[in-house]
Every structure is written in structure tokens, then in C-alpha cells.
Amino acid sequence: MSNRFPRKRRLSSLNVAGMFALLAAALILSACAGIPPAAAPTEVGTQAPVEGDPQVLNFHNWQTYIDPIILSDFEKKFNVKINYTLYSSNEQLLEDVHANPGAYDLVVPSDYMLTIMRRENLVAPLNKDNVPNMKNLDSAFLNLPFDPGNRYCVPYQWGTGGIGYNIKKTGREITKWADLFDPAFAGRVAMLDDPRMSLAAVLLYLGYSPNTTNHTEIEQARDFLTSQSEQIKTYTLNAGQDLLVNGDVDITVEWSGDIYQAMADHPDLRYAIPEEGTIVWVDNICVMADTSHPELAEKFINYLLEPKVGAALSNFIRYASPNQASLPFINKEDLNNPSLYPPEATRRLMFYLADLGPDDTNFYNAAWDAVIKAHK
């Protein structure tokens, strides 16, 4: 496919097996209380949609990207069943939607993928009368370029791309993209197998926009990375935190929540937003255009925007909440962490990845293919 930013992240340090274990505990408690149990998530790459039943909400989401208790509590409160299925990338989401028309009621695309899905008329305009809790959202995450006026979707979570590292191994703080290329760390660095994020890191290091469409600048970033084959040990999709934990690398480019989840059990790990600037992203929860029951989907969105529910979501997955009303209930350690909730000065150096259209996207992809080929 022409748009193949194989983005994210998703929380492999809290893996699918762990989520099943949590859900199993919830099932036991629910059974004892006479509560209809929440369905365990379907394995990534498989779907089991339940079409047409007004009491079933088909929610297709990233791996380990919700507190399972939120699902079971919603089921109990509204006497419904959530059929919860998983995907591992924005690209898989798009493929699943194309392959299974009418199968999903709610999905969670990232910013650039939402632009693509809007263009293809895959998401439905929100009936905001059914989502009064939108008033709780931080205005900084409203009316963004990928969804002007939030006509279609509601911000779900946000975070950054940055650098995870083991300070015991590096012997010093890592603060900038330039540190990735310090010869002292040769062969101990991982980067994401992601053309937009990893090229963005190099473009920022070189002083360019991470959304540049100047082919000469993109080629400079490509050529720089192809010259770093001895420096970069591997390019990984969603596993940089695991490489750190296992001691395979000392530094990795990764997404904020992935590193913070790993940090909970590994106190030598750190996360840094580089001084040169970085990518900020917003994931968005959206109602599908071909949903069988939009009102139930909007009811769930409204439920997620309740202050304590929104806080439970962020406290569980360790990403940042766009829900202003949730902040008093966020773990104080997270809320006061400038790498999770950056101050305004840092935010001014954070950029959304723009959908550049097929021609420039293909140019990025070709540049990335050259980087990966040179590394092998």
C-alpha cells in the first residue's frame, strides 16, 4: 500500500497475554457478582465481529490500549456486550476495515490515518448531542488539522516519540537525537522500523522539518542513516523497550508509553524528549460510517470522557490524557513528569506527522527501503 507508515508502538511490554490475565481476573470477579463477563480480546490479526446486534459494541483497538475493567464496567452499567478485537498498526487497521465492511463500530486511528480514513469516507460524523462529555477535553487537542472542528472523532490518548535508554549502561543522561550517533554507543542503538518516525528523527537532527517534502532533504536523511550501519544495531517494529529490558541495546527510539510501562519494573530505564524536537501524536476514537448502532458507540465515547474513567485509562496504559477533567485523578508521578506531560516550551518543538499524499509518501518509503537494505 502507498501509505505504509508502520507506526507503533503498542505496548508490547504489557503484552496480549498479560491483558488476557487481567481479563480473566475480571471474569472471576464478575461471575461472583452476577455481572455479564467482558469478552477477552481477540488475538491480533483475527477478528470475530458480531454484526447487527444492538446490544453488542464491536470495538477494534490497539493491543493493550485500554484498562479491561473499563470494558466490563461499561457492560455492567449499560447491560451490553463489548466485542473487543485488536490490531497492531494503523496500516492493519485500514486493511481490516477494508476487508470487513460493517464489522466494527469503534476504531482508534492515529492522526495521519484519520486523514486517510476521512478521505475514504470510512468514519461517521459525530452526533455531539450524544457526547456531552466532550466539554471535558483540553482545547489544545481540539480542532487539529486531521479533524477540523472534531467533526468525526474524539481524542483518545496522546504521546511522543523519543529516546528510551538504560542510564546504567550509557553512564549519562541522553538528551538529544545526536546522542544516538555518538560512537561511544556504536552497535548498541535501535531505531524504529518506521519511515516517518525514524526519518523524522534524522531530519530534526539535520535541522529540517519532519514533514518536509523537499526530496533533497529526505535524501540527506536517507544517506545519513545508510552511513550508520555500524552504529545502529537493529531497526525494530514495536519492540525497542523489550530490547532495552533484555540488554540487547542501551538506547532506542520508541514511543513514550512503551518505555514508561517498561520503566515500572526496570528502574534503570529512562525516556527523553530530544532537545531538537520530536513527533507528537494523537490517537482518536471514531465511529465507523457503516456501524449498525452509532448511538451505542457514542455512548461509549461519552463514557470514556468521564473524568475518573479517562484517568483510569491513562493510569493503566501510561500515555497522556487529552481529558482536562481527568487530570486531578491521574497518577501524580505521571502528571508531574515533563516527558509525559511536557511544558509549553517543549510542546513548541513537537510536530504532528502530516499525511503528505501518495507521491511524497512513496518517496519516503523508497528512502526507507534503501536504509533497511543498506543495513542488512
Mean pLDDT across the chain: 87
What does the pLDDT average to over 42-66?
Answer: 69
- The confidence score (pLDDT) of residue 29 equals 39
In DSSP terms, which residues pair with 284 in a beta bridge? 155
- The confidence score (pLDDT) of residue 366 equals 96
- What residues contact 136, with CB distance under 8 A and at least 6 apart? 305, 306, 307, 310, 323, 324, 325, 326
Q: For 197-234, what is each residue's pLDDT tens digit? A: 999 999 999 999 999 999 999 999 999 999 999 999 99
* Length, in residues, of the chain: 376
Q: How confident is the model at residue 51 (pLDDT cuts 50, 70, 90)?
A: low
Q: For 127-138, what is each residue's pLDDT tens digit? A: 999 999 999 999
pLDDT of residue 305 exceeding 90: yes
Q: Are strands 106-107 and 278-287 parallel, antiparallel or unpaired?
A: antiparallel
CA distance 272 to 253: 10
Q: How confident is the model at residue 335 (pLDDT cuts 50, 70, 90)?
A: very high
- What residues contact 158, with CB distance under 8 A and at least 6 apart? 141, 280, 281, 282, 283, 319, 320, 321, 322
Nearest residue to 159 via CA among 4, 334, 345, 295: 334
Give strand ranges (E) for the chain: 56-62, 81-87, 106-107, 153-166, 189-192, 232-236, 251-255, 269-272, 278-287, 350-351
Cell readout for 190 is 535501535
pLDDT of residue 22 exceeding 80: no
- Show the domains of the chain with their CATH numbers: 16-158+282-329 (3.40.190.10), 160-279+340-371 (3.40.190.10)
- The confidence score (pLDDT) of residue 194 equals 87
What does the pLDDT average to over 309-332?
Answer: 96
Other CB atoms within a 10 A radius of the CB of residue 80 amount to 18
- Percent of the chain whose predicted confidence (pLDDT) is above 90: 72
Tell me which H or E stretch contains 203: helix 195-206
pLDDT of residue 20 exceeding 50: no
- The answer to whether 334 and 92 have CB atoms below 8 angstroms apart is no
- The confidence score (pLDDT) of residue 230 equals 94
**pTM, entire model:** 0.78
What does the pLDDT average to over 62-77?
Answer: 93
pLDDT of residue 3 exceeding 50: no
Cell numbers 458480531 correspond to what residue?
A: 50
